[in-house]
Structure 1
Amino acid sequence: MLETLNWIERYFDEVTDAVFIFKEENLLVSNQLAKDLQAELKIDPNYLAQVADASVKQKLSPTDDCFKCSIRNLMKEISIPITLANDKLHPLEYFLIYHVIDADNHVFSLTLKSRGIIERMDQVAEQRQLNQYVNRAHEEERKKISADLHDSIAQGVYSAIMGVRRLNEEELSEANVAKLTSIIERQLNDTLTEVKGMALDIRPSVLDNFGLLPALRVLGQRTEENSGVTVDVVGNADTDQLSTNVQSVLYRIAQESIHNALKHARASEISLLLVAHNHFINLEVIDNGVGFDVPKHRQFNGRSLGLMNMNERVKALNGSFEITSEPGNGTTVTAKFPVATA
């Protein structure tokens, strides 16, 4: 038991946060970091207790002066932003964490946590989570390509192989040979068309050869032909100054937005606007579909996964990304990237 207490005491002293433990308004114990901060910054522990007291009263029971009653009735922990060393060149920003240990005896702890460290930890955690979502999106794309190759391309090639095998193994009349040859040719042409369509979806050659705006016009034309939905592509932007990565991301945003408009929004008209300004280039994809509740779809599902993937790709290239929509009023997807002026 004594050894266990020694371990607890050692951990308490070596923890990387400053911890003060109070009973009523009296400081009972503090760890080594708390003592060091108290000495270096001339921190009065009673001042920290008063800050916590005021915050608890404000948050829990603004009309009740009974501090102990507030503690007993409601929350066990409160986080309070606080700045120390205001008179120094670099003030220190902390969160003061108030935690109830024993409400009946009014024993509580105050822990000083660096705001910078917490924010960095939050950013790392958020980035890790977003990376998982993006990886899932990439995996879904790979699964779709794999399914298309297996279900369509492979089946078409296999049918053609069986036809060629019949030509080689069976004794057919000249008329049957001509008929079978025509069937095989049609199968191979259909398969070739599907391969070209997949290649366009993965990476359109027009994007590399002629630039973003022509690629968007081809995308709009293909969408109209395949879906019957009207797609207008408008713009006069010179995208030569944009990097290949930015052009690719803008194309993917247009592609994903059109896909969402057709699959989820039941849109009959889609407009793509690509406009260059003095310091940025702006892409808007506007549809007249059913719209949706944007905050609700921030919970990640099949639809919002593609949107999150777009958002992360834009942010990675220092752009901004926004979706505005509401039920019954369509959706607008906007991506903006800075460009250097001449």
Structure 2
Amino acid sequence: MLETTQWINEYFKDSSDAIMIFKDDDLILSNQMAKDLRRELNLNPQYLVEVADSSVKQKFSPTDNCFSCIIQNKMKEISIPITLAKKMPHPLNYFMIYNIIDPEEKVFSLTLKNRGTIDRMDQLAQQKKLTQYVNRAYEKERKRISEDLHDSIAQGVYSAIMGVRRLENNQFSVEELDELTTVIESQLNDTLTEVKEMALDIRPSVLDNFGLLAALKVLAKRLQENSGVTINVAGNANTEKLSNDIQSVLYRIAQESINNALKHADADEITILLVAHDHYITLEIIDDGDGFDVPKHQRFNGKSMGLMNMNERVKMFNGAFKINSKSGEGTTVTVKFPIV
């Protein structure tokens, strides 16, 4: 027990964060980093207490229209952005963590954490999470393609092979032979059509050869023929300055948005707008369908790319992603990328 206490004391003393413990708003204990900070900045601990007290009162005010206050009132720890040494050439940005230690004795701690360090750690964690998420999405897509190859393409080829083997039977009449070859040819044509459809879904060659706008027009034409829903494509955007990765992301989002509108929105008309501005390019997919409650559908649904995955794909390349939708008022998906 004594050894554990010693470890805790060593951690408290040598922590890179400035830690101060208060009782009844009076400072009773601080570590070395807090002492150094107070000395170098001539920092009055009561100033920090007042900032924390003001933030707590504001956060838990019953008149701030905060929908999550029920949850917040159960929190023992609050993070407060604070800037010290504002008059110096290089102000110091911190997060001040207010933590209740003993509510009955009115003991609490204030911990100053360097905001830049936390931001870098958050960025690294976010990047790791994003990488894992995208990898899972890619693996899910590969699994879907594998299942399509096995369940559809492979079965079609196998059926054709069985038909060819039957041709070895010399007992067929001319009419029966013509009928069998017609069946085999039909099976192979169907399989070839499915292969072409899969190739278009995976990577349309028109995207590489003629650019994004042409690829969107081909996509719209194909989906319109299959669904009967009117799909318009308009725009003046020259996408030559966009990287292949960004063009692929824009194409995939258009593809996913159209498919979502066809499957779930009962839309009669879908419009795709690709417009170039001075310093950015925007893609909008607008449908007149049923619309939906956006916050309820922002998690990955396991059946498609999902809205969350769209957002993550755009963020990977420093773009902006937005969805406007209300029940009965249709949906607009907007993506914006800077043009370098």
- TM-score relative to the length of structure 1: 0.88
- TM-score relative to the length of structure 2: 0.88
**Correspondence for 1:84:** 84
**Correspondence for 1:65:** none
Once the two structures are superposed, the pairs formed by residues 306-325 of structure 1 within 5 Å of their partners are: 306-325=306-325
Moved more, 185-194 or 238-247: 238-247
| Per-residue Cα deviation, 1:282-310 (whole angstroms, up to 9, x for no partner) | 22111111111112222332478433333
Tell me if 1:197 matches 2:197.
Answer: yes
Query: Compared with structure 1, are the counterparts of its residues 213 and 59 closer, same or farther at alpha carbon in structure 2 (3 Å cutoff)?
Result: closer
Query: Compared with structure 1, are the counterparts of its residues 55 and 324 closer, same or farther at alpha carbon in structure 2 (3 Å cutoff)?
Result: closer
Query: Compared with structure 1, are the counterparts of its residues 304 and 324 closer, same or farther at alpha carbon in structure 2 (3 Å cutoff)?
Result: farther
Q: CA deviation at 1:89?
A: 1.0
**1:80–1:95 Cα contact (<8 Å) kept:** yes
**SS across alignment from 1:130:** helix
The 2-side partners of 1:4 and 1:260 are apart by 57
The 1-side partners of 2:190 and 2:304 are apart by 33
| Per-residue Cα deviation, 1:38-62 (whole angstroms, up to 9, x for no partner) | 2222222233233334444554579
State the aligned residue count: 331
**SS across alignment from 2:121:** helix
**1:84–1:91 Cα contact (<8 Å) kept:** yes
Kindly provide the amino acid, as one letter, of the partner of residue 28 in structure 1: I
**1:134–1:308 Cα contact (<8 Å) kept:** no
**Correspondence for 2:288:** 288
The 2-side partners of 1:239 and 1:148 are apart by 32
**Correspondence for 1:181:** 181
Query: Compared with structure 1, are the counterparts of its residues 41 and 332 closer, same or farther at alpha carbon in structure 2 (3 Å cutoff)?
Result: same
Kindly provide the amino acid, as one letter, of the partner of residue 76 in structure 2: K
Kindly provide the amino acid, as one letter, of the partner of residue 217 in structure 1: K
| Per-residue Cα deviation, 1:238-268 (whole angstroms, up to 9, x for no partner) | 3333332232222212111111111111212
Moved more, 118-127 or 324-333: 118-127
Identity of aligned residues (%): 68
Structure 2 gap segments, 5+ residues each: 63-72
**Correspondence for 1:31:** 31
**1:133–1:305 Cα contact (<8 Å) kept:** no
The 2-side partners of 1:303 and 1:327 are apart by 21
**SS across alignment from 2:168:** helix
Tell me if 1:111 matches 2:111.
Answer: yes
Moved more, 4-13 or 173-182: 173-182
Structure 1 gap segments, 5+ residues each: 63-72
**1:298–1:304 Cα contact (<8 Å) kept:** no
Query: Compared with structure 1, are the counterparts of its residues 138 and 33 closer, same or farther at alpha carbon in structure 2 (3 Å cutoff)?
Result: same
Query: Compared with structure 1, are the counterparts of its residues 114 and 120 closer, same or farther at alpha carbon in structure 2 (3 Å cutoff)?
Result: same
**1:137–1:306 Cα contact (<8 Å) kept:** no
Moved more, 314-323 or 212-221: 314-323
The 2-side partners of 1:100 and 1:275 are apart by 53
Query: Compared with structure 1, are the counterparts of its residues 82 and 278 closer, same or farther at alpha carbon in structure 2 (3 Å cutoff)?
Result: closer
**Correspondence for 2:68:** none
Kindly provide the amino acid, as one letter, of the partner of residue 100 in structure 2: V
